[in-house]
Amino acid sequence: MSDDMIIHFSSNSSNHSDQSLPTKIAKLEARMVGRDPSAVPATSTAPATWSSASVSSKFVPAENLAELGTSSDSDDDNGGDFLIQANTQKRQKLQEDDSTVFEHVEAVADGRQKIVETMETKAGFDVNRKKQGRGRGHAGSGRGRGSRASDQTRAHISPSTISPSNGQLEISCHKDNRSKEQFGNDDRSSLEDVASLRAKITALEEDLQKSRQESSHYQQLCHQLEKELKDLKDHEQQMKPKRMKIMSDLLISVSKAERQEARMKVRQDSLRLGNVGVIRAGTVISETWEDGQTLKDLNAHLRHLLEMKEAVERQRKSLKKRQSDKGDGIDAETGVQEEDFLIHDEIYKSRLASIKREEETFLRERDRYELDKGRLIREMKRIRDEDGSRFNNFQILNHRYALLNLLGKGGFSEVYKAYDLVEHRYVACKLHGLNAQWSEEKKQSYIRHAIREYNIHKTLVHHHIVRLWDIFEIDHNAFCTVLEYCSGKDLDAVLKATPILPEREARIIIVQIFQGLVYLNKRTQKIIHYDLKPGNVLFDDLGVAKVTDFGLSKIVEDDVGSQGMELTSQGAGTYWYLPPECFELSKTPLISSKVDVWSAGVLFYQMLFGRRPFGHDQTQERILREDTIINARKVEFPSRPAVSNEAKDLIRRCLTYNQAERPDVLTIAQDPYLTYSKK
């Protein structure tokens, strides 16, 4: 038996499950050299050599071992120990050769593997770029298969070293031949791999092609959509003026109808309530109010009732006189008895009571009519202002604000209801007109004042502060501020219609005003409103109260002391609502948020009692002349209507004469009366 054969056996014998194999080989060798195989011991003496062949042993196919096992099983010859030693050396040499070949084959296989991997990676990369998920899957499986192919290559090497020939085991003598064979096998399997990889590449290329097609299809779609979007935008841009025109036309026709209706209502109400008449006195023409028919009738009724009352009282007086004249007996003149006196007196009393009731009813009705008359006069004034306004012909200002109807006219401005055609909401456009007759200096001062107001107001964003949206110049003599539109009445109009509010309603209004004031005082740049009055509290359509008009407001500088800052620009705050320190003339007054606390106290008092606490019936000029507010040391409460002590206490705190003792906004806002919590 040749050394190669032994090596072959040893290579194949790594199947440790067959422990009898070395013994068999020894016996076989012994027989071949003419020795007695039975002399070979049952267990091999060279376990170390067996284990040293472990590298190649793992490549032995099971069927070869079976084949070998069968042939050696039928042979009972014994082999000598020395042979096994000699064979081991040879086998080691062969193993070295084998491993060189093996490395070479592996290198080739690895080279192919690298090519395949490169190709796959490339294909995988392309596919990845097109189809992420799928590409990654392919690349992974490709690599997996590649390494398997490499394993297979190695597996093929081992059997190639064994070549069964004529039923006998024969080891190939020349390593090169064996290597060629191995390469042959390896090439075959590698070719198969390459073929399968090519097929895969073809499939991937197809995928890539498809993805490219899809991508170009999507790109086309994208371009198409972009074009459509651009067309739509262009169309929208073209339609914008048209749409604006349609909308403003509709708004104008509604406003025109409203104007007509307002004027018709004024005419109708005038008949009932009165009208402005013109009186000429020489060259002087003046206007007077003439009551309407209903008011005339009411007044006539009241006059008649008064006359009746006087007549009954006269009768009663004379009856009493006669009664006292006659003493206890019968009246000599009329023959009326004592009891008749008593009955007549009772009749007159009863008549007087009924006249009084009737009178009260008529008086109530007259009050209602007086309120209607006040409303009518204000509406007439508004219409007259609207008719005289230079903005009354439905202009569109700044290309977006469609002016509608006049809401009212203030000292230096007109406020129009308008529609913002860009934001699609109603707004109030306050139009500040500079009088052409004013000096340039006065105009500049007015503009400075308005810009200051704008700069303060624009930063205020709070639920209980009217928002200021915009400001722009209309022309050389006018500019406009755009405000949040408050569709409800202002508090002044509310109090004119209902001078006394129920405490519950007054409370929720003052709470909202204080919330707005707290906001003004919690900002880094604190603000004193300085002109809180009923006309500057507006209501939206839900009844939410909002403070407006920051024309006189003051920014509190950072470094002011606890008593406040100097009042450098007095402004023309409304005197009924200003605290005593604002009337200090001997020195520059120090003011703080306590000014607004006082004003809020006056407002609350007025809502509850229907009159202002100080100088209610006085004109502004008289208040100043008579030092009404400087003398307003203590607030008095009427006995009616009944108001809670908590409300009165709050008013007292707000109207604390001494500024140092009066709480500021943040302190008074913590008064339990101003907070709501679930009981």
State the catalytic residues: 531
- For the bound state, the minimum distance from the C-beta of residue 451 to ligand ATP, rounded and expressed in Å, comes to 16
Torsion of CA 312, 315, 316, 320, to 10 degrees: 170
Q: Which is nearer to ligand ATP, 207 or 490 (CB)?
A: 490
Q: What minimum distance in Å lies between the beta carbon of 348 and ligand ATP? A: 51
Amino acid at 184: G
Subset of residues 311 to 370 that bind ligand ATP, contact rule: CB under 6 A:
none
Q: Is 466 in the site for ligand ATP (CB under 6 A)?
A: yes
User: Binding of ligand ATP at residue 411 (CB under 6 A)?
Assistant: yes
Nearer to ligand ATP, 410 or 641 (CB): 410
Query: Closest CB to ligand ATP among 118 and 569?
Result: 569
Task: Please report whether residue 485 would count as binding ligand ATP according to CB under 6 A.
Answer: yes
Residue 587 labeled ligand binder? no
Closest residue to ligand ATP, based on beta-carbon distance: 410
Q: Which of 373/432 has CB closer to ligand ATP?
A: 432
The stretch among 96-104, 116-124, 409-417, 645-653 that binds ligand ATP (CB under 6 A) is 409-417
Question: Using CB under 6 A, which of 535, 571, 610, 663 touches ligand ATP?
Answer: 535
Q: Does 548 bind ligand ATP (CB under 6 A)?
A: yes
Closest CB 607 distance from ligand ATP, rounded Å: 17
Of the candidates 269, 276, 263, the residue with the CA atom closest to the CA atom of residue 294 = 269
- Nearest approach in angstroms of CB 552 to ligand ATP is 9
Does residue 538 bind ligand ATP (CB under 6 A)?
Answer: yes
Among residues 534 and 579, whose Cβ is nearest to ligand ATP? 534
- Tell me 490's DSSP state: B
Residue from the set 94, 105, 208, 428 that interacts with ligand ATP by CB under 6 A: 428
Stretch that binds ligand ATP, among 113-121, 365-373, 403-411, 601-609 (CB under 6 A): 403-411
Q: What's the DSSP call for residue 465?
A: B
| 643 lies in the binding site for ligand ATP (CB under 6 A) | no
> What Cα–Cα distance (Å) separates residue 469 from each residue in 226, 451, 526?
34, 14, 21
Q: Which residues pair with 539 in a beta bridge?
A: 545
Judging by beta carbons within 10 Å of its beta carbon (0-12, 13-18, 19+), is residue 173 exposed, middle or buried? exposed
Distance between CA atoms of residues 227 and 208, nearest Å: 28
Tell me the site size for ligand ATP, rule CB under 6 A. Answer: 18
Query: Minimum CB separation from ligand ATP for residue 468, in Å?
Result: 9
Per CB under 6 A, 413 contacts ligand ATP: yes
Q: Which of 32, 244, 415, 511 binds ligand ATP (CB under 6 A)?
A: 415
With binding defined as CB under 6 A, does residue 549 bind ligand ATP? yes
> For helices 21-32 and 62-73, what crossing angle results, to 10°?
50
Instruction: Specify the 3-state DSSP secondary structure of 599.
Output: helix
Single out the residue of 582, 480, 371 nearest to residue 379, CA to CA.
371
- 8 Å CB contact between 288 and 276: yes
Residue 72 near residue 28, CB atoms below 8 Å: yes
Residue 483 lies near ligand ATP (rule: CB under 6 A): yes
| Contacts of ligand ATP in 186-225 (CB under 6 A) | none
Q: How many CB atoms lie within 10 A of CB 5?
A: 18
Out of 77, 490, 581, 664, name the contact with ligand ATP by CB under 6 A.
Answer: 490
Rounded to a whole number of angstroms, the minimum distance from the CB of residue 629 to ligand ATP is 19
Distances (CA, A) of 497 to 270, 290, 369, 500: 18, 21, 11, 9
Between 50 and 577, name the residue whose CB sits nearer to ligand ATP. Answer: 577
Quickly tell me which residue has 């004469």 as its tokens.
657
CB contact at 8 A, 158 and 59: yes
Between vectors from CA 175 to CA 170 and to CA 178, what angle results, nearest 5°? 65
Q: Does 407 bind ligand ATP (CB under 6 A)?
A: yes
For the CA atoms of the chain, what is the radius of gyration? 57
Q: How far is the CB of 237 from ligand ATP (least distance, A)?
A: 32
Q: Between residues 67 and 484, which has the closer beta carbon with respect to ligand ATP?
A: 484
> What single-letter DSSP state applies at residue 614?
S
Give the shortest CB-378-to-ligand ATP separation in angstroms. 9
How far is residue 21's CA from residue 161's CA, in Å, rounded to a whole number?
20
- If the CB atoms of residues 374 and 408 are measured against ligand ATP, the closer one turns out to be 408
The two tokens of residue 405 are 């109807």
* Interatomic CA distance for residues 613 and 635, integer angstroms: 7
Is 150 in a helix, a strand, or coil?
helix
Calculate the CA 297 to chain-centre distance.
59
Q: Does 133 bind ligand ATP (CB under 6 A)?
A: no
Angle (nearest 5°) at CA 655 between 532 and 523 = 50
Q: Which is nearer to ligand ATP, 415 or 555 (CB)?
A: 415
410 binds ligand ATP (CB under 6 A): yes
Whether 673 contacts 647, CB under 8 Å: yes
Q: Could you tell me the CA-to-CA distances from 270 to 26, 256, 375, 377, 406 in Å, in that order?
A: 141, 21, 11, 9, 21
- Contact segment (CB under 6 A) with ligand ATP among 62-70, 96-104, 410-418, 580-588 equals 410-418
CA-to-CA distance for 182 and 177, rounded, in angstroms? Answer: 8
Contact 286, 301 (CB under 8 A): no
Q: Compute the least distance from the CB of residue 678 to ligand ATP, in Å.
A: 33
Give the residue ranges of the annotated binding site.
430
Q: Which residues bind ligand ATP (CB under 6 A)?
A: 407-408, 410-413, 415, 428, 466, 483-486, 490, 535, 538, 548-549
Give the residue ranges of the annotated binding site for ATP.
430
